[in-house]
Amino acid sequence: MDLMYLWHSLLRKKWIIALCTLIGLLAGFGFTLTQKKSYLSFSQYSTGFTMEQKVRIKEEAGLNIYEIDLRFNNVIETFRSPKVMGMLSYKLLLHDLDDSHPFRVLTSDQRGQEVYKVANLEAAKSILRDKISSMSLISPYDPEEKKVYDLILLYGYNDKALSDKIAFTRVERTDFINISYASENPLLSAYVVNTIGEQFIRFFNNIYGARAVESTAKLDSFTNSKKREVDELTGKLRDFRAKIGTPNVADRASAAMGVVQEMTSNYQREMANLNNLRGELTATETQLRSSMSGAGGTTTSTGNNAEYLRLKRENENLDLQKAGKSEDEMKNIQDKIDANVRKMQAAAPVSSGDKERKAEKSADNQAKLINRKIELQEQILAAEQNVKLYREQKDKYEALTSSGGGEEVILKSKEEELRIASQEYEALKKSLQASLDLDVNPENNFKQTMVGQPAFKPEPAKRTIIMGMSGILVFFLSAIIILGLEFLDSSYKTPSIFHRITRLKLLSSLNRIDLKKKELKEHLQLEGEPVRKDEDNLFVENLRKLRYELEKSGRKVILITSTKPNEGKTTVIEALAHSLSLTRKKVLIVDANFSNNSLTRMFEAKPALTTFSAGEKAGPEAFLSITNKTSIPHADVIGCVEGNFTPSEALPPNNLLENISRVAERYDYVLIEGSSLNEHADSKELARYADAIIAVVDAKSVLKQTDKDSIDYLKSTDGKFIGTVLNNVEPDNMEL
């Protein structure tokens, strides 16, 4: 389809598009008038993901940006989780049921619903308080809790309603998360953005708080153990000094050699231990990252607090029993403490629901891995110090083997051992002190940095933007619909499209004129000075082109037919007769369209075509006796009867058409109208009487297979077919 035609189609329908656009603007304006006022509140929270961790026994690598992004995504998903949203819903409903100034007040219709009538408000408050206290969700299978859930839906505090209006966004390249919520009540908006953060922090504390306490308790146990070791080494050194008095220089060489052998053995053993610890630390860190990356969702947990507290008290008693014990006994006591710690972790909160069990198991595993990481870091630090000490002592005493060491060497060895133990004790004390300021788990460090406040003014209605968008949308939508309808319209429409589809010669194109309001001759304005409208003037000029083509052909007897009925043959013949009369040409119109004798009815002619039979010696007067005068100057007409028959069946022997050449002697042109080619054989039978054939085609017609057959017939008439007239073309399409 031609792009120019589509463009002109839009121009023709510009007022429709403009009207649709105006309707869109009015609809946008009406929407902003009926839109409810909305109040927006903000709050801000710091995650602490990028803050320096104080509880570290060893320096670690820098920040992992991708891991931090993953944590932010996990936090936002946890904000949207059923657990946090559920706690927020319960707090909102409890506020509206308890407070004298509720955020939302039910209408009389809502209070009349069965859900509200059957609800026991006091029982609902009690259930809500219990659920908030235990951080557990309402069960839809419990009849009483189901009533509370129906109340939440009635008030519009359900998860879906809250999630649709609450937004969580990270402030780019920072540790902060913004929370925004819009509602019809400014106090409600502020309450939501503040309460959801509280419930989120409470949720995390509930999960990770016990594990953080366990980690701190373990670190405290290590510190106490190291302190006892320092005290024992101090006592041994004091006793040894009292025992040896002044060192014997003669034993120095042999004593130094023994120390070198001991230091070499300790150095090798400690290096092997250090390598094993480093490998295990790498594997633990890998597992921890994998566990934290895969963690997500929420858990619903309740804990075995009695068992947890019993194990904790037992560990405290065992820790006190270490005083004065031997090394093997302290090791056995420490094994019991470690076993109790594992039992405490096993007694940690259990999950409800498949998704919550998975998340709880992941959190439990993270806590174990963090504990193990702390142990390994402490052991690696101690092993590194031992390796350094053993290497220095080995080198030193190797140099003293020639001069000896004796008790002095042993004394210096004990002093160095005490120094190392003291350094380890000081490092553990610093870590324990830092753990009191910062949780061991870095994810449990959320702080509210900006409290949400009620908005003073509602959010702007954005009337200009909404009206503009609605107007633009309707504008493009109406234009697309018009283009789509034009594209789906497969009619000829324009002369260029008609010629491209049919490949038929086009004698002229006649534009559409309104024949319902006034007759054809009024459009032509043949009397007096012509004062015509643009479409009338265009019709007359193209009619003159058709007249010229007819005169140029040199044919007198013209058969005018069409492929389909109602294509405008009668109008074309009448208009052509008017145009020929202006040049003072005598025209005879013969109505041979038996299926629709509209010319006969229009000119009120006698239906003599089927009854007239001329003799061989009949003169011109015999033919003139069956003609009728028309309202067109210099034009006569011969009518016919209407019926379901063809010319060969209806016309008598020696009829008018067989003598048409004799009739044509008295006229300049004889115009014969035949029926449509697709449905009747009349025009094919009439073709042998005509000198030329002209086909009339309506611009609104669609090419079908029967039309193609008729076109093939016209092309096979041995040169009689001289061209087509494209009728009823839209004036704007005449030049396309």
Mean local confidence (pLDDT), 193-203: 85
Task: Map tokens 């869109």 to a residue.
Answer: 24
Cβ atoms within 10 Å, residue 43: 22
At 271 the three-state DSSP class reads: helix
Q: Spell 8-34 as b/e; 16+ CB within 10 A means b.
A: bbeeebeeebeebbeebbebbeeebee
Mean local confidence (pLDDT), 483-499: 80
Which residues span the domain enclosing 131?
Answer: 17-200
Is there a single domain that holds both residue 655 and residue 722? yes
Residue 8, C-beta contacts closer than 8 angstroms, at least 6 positions apart: 732, 733, 736
337 neighbors 222 (Cβ within 8 angstroms): no
Domain finish residue from 149, 181, 200: 200
Domain assignment present for 116: yes
Instruction: Give the model's pLDDT for residue 419.
Output: 78
Most confident of 228-232, 623-627, 714-718: 714-718
Is there a single domain that holds both residue 536 and residue 644? yes
Q: 115-124, 435-444, 466-475: which range is least confident on average?
A: 435-444
What percentage of the chain carries pLDDT values higher than 90?
Answer: 7
With 0-12 CB in 10 A as exposed, 13-18 as middle and 19+ as buried, what is 511? Answer: buried
What is d(CA 557, CA 246) in angstroms, rounded to the nearest whole number? Answer: 154
Task: Give the model confidence (pLDDT) of 143-170 as tens digits.
Answer: 888 888 888 888 888 888 888 888 888 8
At 43 the three-state DSSP class reads: strand
Is there a single domain that holds both residue 495 and residue 419? no
Is there a single domain that holds both residue 166 and residue 219? no
Task: Give the model confidence (pLDDT) of 13-27 as tens digits.
Answer: 788 888 888 888 888
From 234, 246, 597, select the one nearest 408 (Cα to Cα): 246
Mean local confidence (pLDDT), 228-254: 66
- Quote the tokens at residue 116: 């509200």
Task: Give the model confidence (pLDDT) of 394-445 as tens digits.
Answer: 777 766 665 544 566 676 777 777 778 777 767 766 666 655 544 444 445 6
Domain assignment present for 4: no
Domain assignment present for 286: yes
What is d(CA 287, CA 283) in angstroms, rounded to the nearest whole number? Answer: 6
Q: Considering the chain, what is the average pLDDT of its residues?
A: 79
Residue length of the chain: 736
Q: At what angle do helices 82-98 and 121-134 cross, to 10 degrees?
A: 140
Half-sphere exposure at residue 473, Cβ-oriented, CA atoms within 13 angstroms: 12
Task: Give the model confidence (pLDDT) of 610-654 as tens digits.
Answer: 888 876 555 667 777 788 888 888 899 999 998 888 888 888 888
More reliable by pLDDT, 359 or 583: 583
710 neighbors 563 (Cβ within 8 angstroms): yes
Is there a single domain that holds both residue 681 and residue 569? yes
Question: Model confidence at 302, in pLDDT bands (50, 70, 90)?
Answer: very low
Is there a single domain that holds both residue 667 and residue 641? yes
Is there a single domain that holds both residue 361 and residue 393? yes
Mean local confidence (pLDDT), 480-487: 81
450 neighbors 16 (Cβ within 8 angstroms): no
Question: Model confidence at 526, in pLDDT bands (50, 70, 90)?
Answer: low
Domain assignment present for 659: yes
Instruction: Give the model's pLDDT for residue 545.
Output: 92
Task: Map tokens 């004799």 to a residue.
Answer: 662
Is there a single domain that holds both residue 723 and residue 665? yes
Is there a single domain that holds both residue 381 and residue 510? no
Region at 718 (left for phi over 0; alpha for psi -120 to 50; beta for the rest): left
At 584 the three-state DSSP class reads: coil
User: Looking at 639-691, which runs of residues are DSSP E strands?
Assistant: 669-673
- Hey, what long-range contacts does 142-151 have (CB within 8 A, 24 or more apart)? 144/120, 147/115, 147/118, 147/119, 147/120, 148/93, 148/119, 148/124, 150/115, 150/119, 151/93, 151/115, 151/116, 151/119, 151/124
524: CATH? 3.40.50.300
Q: Write the DSSP symbol of residue 196.
A: H
Instruction: Give the model's pLDDT for residue 692.
Output: 93
Strand partners, 697: 726
Task: Give the model confidence (pLDDT) of 29-71 as tens digits.
Answer: 877 777 778 888 888 888 876 654 444 444 444 556 777 778 7
The answer, yes or no, to whether residue 669 has pLDDT greater than 90, is yes
From 102, 189, 200, select the one nearest 452 (Cα to Cα): 189
Domain assignment present for 206: no
181 neighbors 85 (Cβ within 8 angstroms): no
Strand partners, 636: 588, 629
93 neighbors 188 (Cβ within 8 angstroms): no
Is there a single domain that holds both residue 579 and residue 716? yes
Instruction: Give the model's pLDDT for residue 431.
Output: 65
Domain assignment present for 484: no
Instruction: Give the model's pLDDT for residue 209.
Output: 53
Domains contained in the chain, number = 3
Domain finish residue from 414, 443, 472: 443
Task: Give the model confidence (pLDDT) of 72-90 as tens digits.
Answer: 888 888 888 888 888 899 8
Domain assignment present for 464: no
Domain assignment present for 332: yes
578 neighbors 520 (Cβ within 8 angstroms): yes
Question: Model confidence at 726, in pLDDT bands (50, 70, 90)?
Answer: very high
Domain finish residue from 443, 465, 482: 443
Is there a single domain that holds both residue 196 and residue 217? no
What is d(CA 572, CA 153) in angstroms, rounded to the nearest whole number? Answer: 73
Is there a single domain that holds both residue 178 and residue 241? no
